[in-house]
Amino acid sequence: MVHDHTGVAVRAPRAGGREMAEVLLFHHAHGLTPGVREFADALRKAGHTVHVPDLYEGRVFDVLEEGVAHARETGFGTLAERGRAAAGRLPAELVYAGFSLGVLPAQMLAQTRAGARGALLFHACAPVSEFGGRWPGAVPVQVHGMEGDAFFAGEGDLEAARELVRTAPRAELFLYPGDRHLFTDASLPSYDERAAALLTERVLGFLDGVE
């Protein structure tokens, strides 16, 4: 359904003794910024376990273009393998999440690693064909992006997200008013407090519903 609108913590039990979600969260092209860490902490405060691997091995970039250049120099395949290695050290029953560049390893793992409990794709979405065809029908997924974001709406990600919603039974797309890309990162100028708060609320609801 489409909605249009203008470090590791201890695992905590849900009511009734059920365990909270365990999340593997991948950073965006700027690197592992304070804003990414802050987002992870918000999920931890709600009782979820969150792992945030550093795919850049300590590098953080103030300018997005410099971060993208570093990702290209490192190689997207190398970054994906670092993401796969991070997942390999954890249980299979994970929710995979990623911001923009981090959507690539998150989506790859959600589609290809057995046991995935869910996926959260922020500011980006790749065609499911990139990772072997169909989305696993049992895996719930949310995609979040701004309707005027030149990267999300202008480079094919929005179309990929709409196709995912059309073909996957447990997929949702949330569109936010505005044109900012990384609006969830409180340490970047692109941060939008209102949109980020709404996204976080929806993400926490998603994680609470993960089986």
Instruction: Delineate the domains of the chain, giving CATH numbers in brackets.
Output: 2-209 (3.40.50.1820)
- What local confidence, expressed as pLDDT, does residue 156 receive? 93
Which residues of the chain are modeled with pLDDT < 50? 1-18
Dihedral pair phi/psi, residue 204, rounded to 5°: -65, -40
**DSSP 8-class letter at 26:** E
- What local confidence, expressed as pLDDT, does residue 74 receive? 94
What is the bridge-based pairing of β-strands 95-99 and 118-122? parallel
- What local confidence, expressed as pLDDT, does residue 8 receive? 30
**pTM for the whole thing?**
0.90
- What local confidence, expressed as pLDDT, does residue 19 receive? 65
